[in-house]
Amino acid sequence: MQTAIKQKKVGTNLTEGSIIKTLLLFSIPLIMTNLIQQLYSVVDLMVIGKFAGSTGTVGVAIGGEVADLLTPMATAFAGAGQVYIAQLSGAKDDRRVKETVGTLLTLMLGLSFVFTVIAVITHRSILSLLNCPPEAYSQAVSYLIVTTLGFPFIFGYNAICGVLRGMGESKRPLLFISIAAALNIFMDLLLVAVFHLGAMGTAIATVIAQIGSCTAAFIFMYRRKEQFDFELKLSYFKIKKEALLIILKLGIPKMVQTVCIRFSLLWCNAHINSYGLVASATNSVGNKIQKMCTVFVSAVDTGAGAMIGQNLGARKYDRVKKTVWTALGCTLTAAAVASFLALQIPEVLYGFFTNDPAVIEMGIIYMRILVLTFFLSALLGTFQAVVTGSGFASFSFLIGMMDGVVCRIGFSILFVYGLGMGITGFFYGNAMARSLPAVICFLYFISGKWKTRKLLVE
């Protein structure tokens, strides 16, 4: 009885009720969370673009590449913890849930400090590899150094949210990120628009926002320590070998997958940057628009992954299938809406970020190509949720290699150098990167082999 009450208070049972209703009710807070998270990132670019021009825009975009590389590493391990906790929650194993939470928090904080030191030491080499335009170099250095100091808060926030989502709780992260967004927008306007601190002001605003969201998440967990079996004692943060090995087993392949994808993006961006400031600004703004337009797809896929994890733990295989097809219908609909906007009002979307007519003109071409990204992301994300939810770590690694190394870089080389398409070849290469991984994940789903995989809780 106690276990049932605790589970109900902490989160949601995703193994019962209407699938579409459960998926949407769980995903809507995730959608809002992702949207707000992207919003305050977009506000950074909008404010810096309006008050510091293309130089500031490129400085923030390139300086932010390090955070864009390392933040997904945080989400990789948080996602690993989420999958394991989801299966443990579905199996009603409270003891191992508690051990996993303590282990995950300790691991994430330790990694954050390591990555902070590495980023600060190697920042000049990183910017050199990215072909940062000389006009934007000082802005990029300022943004990179300041934002790396916020890594402990990024990792801490992601760890706590991974715990909550694994237990079926998606509403609280929305509150946490709302606090961050409010802080970020206010500080952006104050430091950049009023005090004209440029990229450094944007970076300071971002770090303050991260501190706010992480603090709010920690306070929430502490105030409900009975429900989480959470204790603010050193003994609670003792790493449990079993939990650590499973988190690493899931997280490392996911991290490698993320690194492969990010490095392939960095490779493409570095080549795009070599085409000059206009090309670099077009790509930077286009990436932000892409992230904004795919928040629904990303959230539904995250929600589907949590549902799949809990239902696999409860051995409800038919419900897993229905969850996948329901999620696919939702994500394809979202892709169609995003494509309509990209094709009908590309200059309006780019106009939010820049006044440069040359950037807007190239942006129209970028947006047409982005339609491919929308639909392939919907397909890949939905079927990959089955891989994630079943805890198939080595398969996730394969997908990462396909997406990052084989497809993105391979297609880019083919289009740019083989077919002589110039800079648009990089845009097409990035869009087509998801094609082969989507096919592979689909084949895994229809094969039904995910039903026979040994669960993490066994």
Tell me how many domains the chain contains: 1
On whether residue 99 sits in a domain, the answer given is yes
Cβ atoms of 45 and 57 closer than 8 Å? yes
User: pLDDT > 70: what percent of the chain?
Assistant: 95
Q: Give me the pLDDT at residue 107, please.
A: 93
Contact 299, 31 (CB under 8 A): yes
The answer to the question of residue 72 being in a domain is yes
Q: Is residue 398 part of a domain?
A: yes
User: What pLDDT shows up at residue 191?
Assistant: 92
Let me know if residue 333 belongs to a domain: yes
Range of the domain at 169: 17-447
Residue 453 lies in a domain: no
- What pLDDT, on the 0 to 100 scale, is given for residue 9? 47
**Mean residue pLDDT across the chain:** 84
Residues 135 and 118: their CA atoms lie apart, in Å, by 25
pTM equals 0.68
pLDDT at 413: 94
Residue 406 in any domain: the answer is yes
Write down the pLDDT at residue 262. Answer: 77
Asked, for residue 155, whether it belongs to a domain, the answer is yes
List the chain residues with pLDDT less than 50: 1-9
Q: CA separation (Å) from 72 to 13, 67, 75, 252, 293? A: 27, 8, 5, 12, 18
Classify residue 29: in a domain, yes or no.
yes
H/E/C letters for each residue in the chain?
CHHHHHHHHHCCCCCCCCHHHHHHHHHHHHHHHHHHHHHHHHHHHHHHHHHHHHHHHHHHHHHCHHHHHHHHHHHHHHHHHHHHHHHHHHCCCHHHHHHHHHHHHHHHHHHHHHHHHHHHHHHHHHHHHCCCCHHHHHHHHHHHHHHHCCHHHHHHHHHHHHHHHHCCCCHHHHHHHHHHHHHHHHHHHHHHHHCCCHHHHHHHHHHHHHHHHHHHHHHHHHHCHHHHCCCCCCCCCCCCHHHHHHHHHHHHHHHHHHHHHHHHHHHHHHHHHCCCHHHHHHHHHHHHHHHHHCHHHHHHHHHHHHHHHHHHHCCCHHHHHHHHHHHHHHHHHHHHHHHHHHHHCHHHHHHCCCCCHHHHHHHHHHHHHHHHHHHHHHHHHHHHHHHHHCCCHHHHHHHHHHHHHHHHHHHHHHHHHHCCCCHHHHHHHHHHCCHHHHHHHHHHHHHCHHHCCCCCCC
